[in-house]
A and B are shown apart, each in its own frame.
Chain A
Amino acid sequence: MYNVNEELKEKIINLNKLLLDKYREIFSLDGTTLRNFIQREIGEVKKINRLSQEELSHITKKGGLLGVDGSNNRVGGAYPHFVEIYQALAKSTIHANEPIYKTDFYSPLCPENENRDNLENPLEEDQSIRSKKLSAIEVEVALEGVRRFKPYAVIMDGSLIRYDIECYDRWQELREECEEKNIILIGVIKDIKTYIIGDLLVKNGLLSKRELFYDRELLYGLLEYGEIIEISAGVTKKAQEGFASLFMRSSKAPSVIGMDILDSQREYLEEMARLVLTLTPQDGRGVPLWIDIVDREVRITDQLIRGLLESYLDREILEKLFISERDKRTL
């Protein structure tokens, strides 16, 4: 038996109470009421079907799919004594044997990042550099994949707006390339972090508390398998940046995923939603298998990274800079 610290137990009970208090109203919302509200204020709730075999072969004829994903690994301890390795992969369903990889690294200790002592908040700055680096190579492999394979559609892992914010120039290049060549560009978001519906609920006075409720909380279990909500341009900030989005339940799991598409390609929104539905295992977590496959290929194990660092970094550098006390812990 474990010895339970009484205070810890108390705290957890208290946490439960706090959360219950906050969410009581949401949890007690009637499903139909909420659906009606969404129909009225957010967008139409639609049932879609999987693509037929002919439609799929049409996609193949037009160049297949390009899946894009990235991964990062971190070795070391707290700021600034760490190094992060990024890898991005673009893989075409048709040319699966020619994956396009790009890698990059970042460490606050590197000379190019040095003169930041005068910055107000080095940690925040640091965070943004890291995201930028990863986004940048993801966009780069996507761009190369688009140029080399001319796919019918590109599926990025994650929201498209991220690239718009984090590496604007390269993103514009990709966007223009796709629009010009009529290549559909979408992003599939496993963890949606928006709060469009909650915001509107509060604004319309349907909720008494003025707290932040995320869409994933509200949409959990609300949609049936294969249902989508097209978010009307008026209610999302993304529209201003040139994106159209939807929510969908793509598997039997009750959670909901999101999908972005270029505004200029809005006409393909439903077709792409159907494609995502087709490629997602019914009993899965809701992520298209192709994204999972790309994700799996791009991932580097921590052991491999450690091995590489141990082989190619001077022992002195590795020990002094990147081995934290934590790593040496054995207990």
Chain B
Amino acid sequence: MKVVGITTQQEVYVGSKERNFRINEFLIIEDPYQGDLIGEVVEAQSYNKYMPLSMHGELADSSVINSLKAIGYNIEEDTIYIAKIRLLNEALYPIESGSDVRIPSFEEVKDLMIRSAADEGLVLGIIKNTDQMAENMDEEYKDLLYTFEEGKLKKQRDIPYIFDIKSMHQYPHIGVFGGSGSGKSFGLRVILEELMELNIPTLVLDPHFEMDFSQISPYLPKEKAKDYKDRFKCLQVGHHVGVRFEDLSRSDIKNLLGASSPLTDAMSNVVDILFRGRESYNSFYNRLKMLAEAQEEGSLDRIQRRIDESANDLDREGWQKRKELFLNYDKTCPYSSVRGIIWRLTRLENEGIFSKDIRPIEEGLHMGKLIVVQGSTRILQVFSTYLLNNLYHKRRDYKDAQYKNTTAEYFPPFIVVTDEAHNFAPKGYEPPSKSILKEISQEGRKYGAFLILATQRPTLLDETITAQLNTKFIFRTVRASDIETIKEETDITVEEARRLPYLRTGDVFISEASLGRTIFARIRAANTTSPHRENPFEELRNKLMEDDNKFLQVIQDKLPINGDDFINVIKEIEKETGETYPITLFEEKLEDLVEKGLLKKKKTPFFNIYTK
């Protein structure tokens, strides 16, 4: 391998007659004047001067090439391999043409490849095409993980990619980008597994109900299987966790009400006027309700008549109160806005948000657990706004108190993780969840609150937030607009951007600000599997088979069944199992089983007989 052609301080071409180059492989150039320089292959080509690509010229056909081979000359031996190499650090002078090039040893690249000990960082995968250097690698980096390639589990042969979690202190926040099926969710799962491994308090917003870590991957060898059962907790909004209404401030409640669609000025005004803060849900709800009822009466006279006609004291008192509300608020709170607030409030209540609080989440974080908050996207938008504000300010208060030398209750640093992040912090409009995410993205570093945001549409993610994502995992991306965004937001090269649409599932470019360059890696096999792994079409088939078997068992000892005897058989079945079938359905089911070859049917002049 030698440096050929015109060279610059940044890039050289290397040619070889024997060895083909692999993209992203590292090579050392032995410049006689500048010493050893390390570079990465960014383009690889092979060329045979006797087999030119020509549309209308002659093409050496295979019979001629074979004939030449038969008389002793193998044209393929004249193939040359060319690689474009980009130096990791710019050289002082252009590289000397003709310099020798060799494969580096592990020691020479260790500092470039490995930034953290295996037990202190996130072991996320392997750095691709590093197997040659991995041969004399330290034992502590060997056998850390498995990869999954072409449907088979493979032992680690390359240098591991270990994300230095401590570097997040200077370079906070991670973005995970990639189209559907690119391995993005799966990469996120691996990141979360590693966070659990290190007992880092983590909050996951999971709109897909997929971040469950209780199922251990069936493909892993038994002794390598890891159990995360005690390290994570799935909590559903409205079921396990919710908002304590009494804790809500005026802006909190406005955020909550405005989560699904923004509040109108009038509605916002209604909340400002009617909500007193630190009150119960019922007290606020009743106030709204009574005002609305009074407004429905239409005029003071009619409310007065209601008071006068009241049958008992309780009623009278009620209407008296409505009259007061009417007098105080009718002018400032239009009826339609009051109604709107009531609708939105009852909807939240029905979803159970106000029946629980966030204590389980706080407790979990204190214990260094991974807390998965599940709910529909809309609910999560509502809830996360409240939740993140709450947690972030707890942490912030603690740190601020530390700076000011006062005391505050301890709250641990934590990481917030979400898939479909463009729903929580979209570009172009302002849902309430965006402002808190923006705040964390800009200031979280100071307080030890970090974000890991995954999305398949980086273009739709708020730009201020994207700019704060110091590390980016970029999986296969096909959309041109997203590739453009990625090019703008990362240090990915033109050649790498060109490869984005063709990446294999699980292959990823990792652009780290702390490194200043892009690493091509493959995510390791996950230790756990998503609960949604079953193919829906297989599920259908299995369900059908299960139904058939159940029915077969039910009729097993009734066989043979005569066609004129359905009534009696059905009665017997009903007696035994409590299940009953209409005659037509029963016959249909039998026919179905005959068609599938599970039963046989004999025809007689009068009726059919079903047998085994």
Q: Contact check, A96 vs B63: say whether CB atoms are below 8 A apart.
A: no
Cβ-based interface call for A57 (8 A): yes
> Are B59 and A56 in touch, CB under 8 angstroms?
no
A283 touches B58 (CB 8 A): yes
A93, A283, A285, A292: which contacts B71 (Cβ < 8 A)?
A93
- A172 at interface (Cβ–Cβ under 8 A)? no
Q: Is the CB of A56 within 8 A of B71?
A: yes
With both beta carbons as reference points, the residue of chain B lying nearest to A97 in the complex is identified as B77
- Residues of A254-282 at the interface with B, using a CB-CB cut-off of 8 Å, are 278-282
- The answer to whether the Cβ of B60 comes within 8 Å of any Cβ in the partner chain is yes
B113 to chain A: closest CB distance in Å? 39
Give the residues in chain B near A251, CB-CB below 8 Å.
Answer: 58
Question: B59 contacts A278, CB within 8 Å?
Answer: no
> Which among A53, A57, A65, A289 is the interface contact of B60 at CB below 8 angstroms?
A289
CB of A38 within 8 Å of the partner chain: no
A290 contacts which of B58, B59, B61, B68 (Cβ < 8 Å)? B68
**Which of chain A's residues have a CB closer than 8 A to the CB of B68?**
93, 279, 289-290
Interface residues of A in 44-90 (CB under 8 A from B): 50-51, 53, 56-57, 59-60, 64-65
Interchain CB contact (< 8 A) of B73 among A57, A94, A283, A296: A94
By the criterion CB–CB under 8 Å, are A56 and B61 in contact?
no
Which of B49, B63, B67, B77 has the most chain A CB atoms closer than 10 A to its own CB? Answer: B67
User: By the criterion CB–CB under 8 Å, are A50 and B70 in contact?
Assistant: no
- The answer to whether A279 and B67 have CB atoms under 8 Å apart is yes
Is A94 within 8 A of B72, CB to CB? yes
> Is there a chain B Cβ closer than 8 Å to A284's Cβ?
yes
Contact A296 B50 (CB under 8 A): yes
The answer to whether B58 touches A285, judged by C-beta atoms less than 8 angstroms apart, is yes
User: B65: shortest Cβ distance to chain A, in Å?
Assistant: 8
Q: How far is the CB of B42 from chain A (nearest CB, A)?
A: 28
Cα(A28)–Cα(B591), bound, Å: 83
Complex Cα spacing A117 to B49, Å: 46
A293 at the binding interface (Cβ < 8 Å): yes
Contact B49 A296 (CB under 8 A): yes
Complex Cα distance A53/B61, Å?
Answer: 16
Query: Would you give the 0/1 interface string for A182-222, flagging 1 where the beta carbon is closer than 8 Å to chain B?
Result: 00000000000000000000000000000000000000000
B585 in contact (CB, < 8 A): no
Interfacial chain B residues near A51, Cβ < 8 Å: 67
Interface size on A, residues (CB 8 A): 27
The answer to whether A56 and B70 have CB atoms under 8 Å apart is yes
Given contacts A64-B72, A93-B72, A290-B73, contact A281 B50 (CB under 8 A): no
Instruction: Decide: A281 and B73 in contact? CB cutoff 8 A.
Output: no
Q: Which residues of A are found within 8 Å of B58, using beta-carbon distances?
A: 251, 281, 283-285
Determine whether B64 belongs to the interface, using a CB cutoff of 8 Å to chain A.
yes
Interfacial chain A residues near B64, Cβ < 8 Å:
278-282, 289
Q: Nearest residue in A to B56 (C-beta to C-beta)?
A: A283
Residues of A within 8 A of B63 (CB): 50, 278, 282
- Which residues on the A side are within 8 Å of B70 (C-beta)? 53, 56-57, 59-60
Interface string of B75-94 (1 = CB under 8 A from A): 10100000000000000000
Report how far A54 CA is from B134 CA in the complex, Å: 48
| A-side contacts of B65, CB under 8 Å | 289
Instruction: State the CA gap A296–B60 with chains docked (Å).
Output: 14
CA of A65 to CA of B67, assembled, Å: 12
Assess the A59–B71 pair: CB atoms within 8 A. yes
Of B49, B63, B65, B72, most buried by chain A (CB within 10 Å of CB) is B72
Contact residues in A for B59 (Cβ distance below 8 Å): 281, 283-284
A298 shortest CB reach to chain B, Å: 13
B6 vs chain A, min Cβ distance (A): 14
By a CB distance below 8 angstroms, the chain B residues around A284 are: 58-60
Min Cβ gap A56→B in Å is 4
Docked CA distance A10–B49 (Å): 44
- Min CB–CB distance A268 → chain B (angstroms): 15
Contacts of A296 in B (CB 8 A): 49-50
CA distance A53 to B58 in the complex (A): 23
A93 touches B73 (CB 8 A): yes
Q: How far is the CA of A64 from the CA of B148 in the complex (A)?
A: 50
Best-surrounded residue of B49, B60, B73 (most CB of chain A within 10 A): B73
Q: How far is the CA of A59 from the CA of B68 in the complex (A)?
A: 11
Q: Which residue of B lies closest to A287 (CB)?
A: B58
Q: Do A60 and B50 have beta carbons less than 8 Å apart?
A: no
- Kindly state the separation between the CA atoms of A93 and B58 in the bound complex, as whole angstroms: 21
Interface centre among A284, A289, A290 (most CB of B within 10 A): A289
Given A293-B50, A296-B49, A296-B50: A60 and B71 within 8 A (CB)? Answer: yes
Give the distance in Å from the alpha carbon of A293 to the alpha carbon of B78 in the complex.
Answer: 11
**Given B49, B67, B71, B75, which contacts A64 in the complex, CB threshold below 8 Å?**
B71
Chain B, 235-258, CB within 8 A of any chain A CB: none
Q: How far is the CA of A285 from the CA of B59 in the complex (A)?
A: 10
Interface centre among A50, A65, A92, A96 (most CB of B within 10 A): A96
Contact with A along B473-494 (1 / 0, CB 8 A): 0000000000000000000000
Contact check, A281 vs B71: say whether CB atoms are below 8 A apart. no
Q: Contacts of A290 on B, CB cut-off 8 Å? A: 68, 73
Asked if B61 contacts A96 (CB within 8 A), the reply is no
User: Is B61 touching A283 in the complex (CB atoms < 8 A)?
Assistant: yes
Assembled-state Cα–Cα distance A93/B74 (Å)? 8
CB distance from B4 to the nearest CB of A (A): 15
For A29-43 the 0/1 string (1 means CB < 8 A from B) is 000000000000000
Bound-complex Cα distance A290 to B75 (A): 10
CA A296 to CA B65, docked complex, whole Å: 16
> Complex Cα distance A289/B66, Å?
12
B61 touches A282 (CB 8 A): yes
Q: Which residues of A contact B67 (CB under 8 A)?
A: 50-51, 56, 278-279
Pairs across A and B, CB under 8 Å, 16 listed? A51-B67, A60-B72, A65-B72, A93-B68, A93-B72, A93-B73, A94-B72, A278-B64, A279-B67, A281-B60, A281-B64, A282-B64, A289-B50, A293-B75, A296-B49, A296-B50
Residues in chain B within 8 A of chain A (CB atoms): 49-50, 58-61, 63-65, 67-68, 70-73, 75, 77
Known: A278-B67, A289-B68. 5 other contacts (CB 8 A): A51-B67, A59-B70, A64-B73, A93-B72, A293-B50
Interchain residue pairs A-B with the least CB separation, the first 5: A284-B58, A56-B70, A94-B72, A93-B73, A93-B72
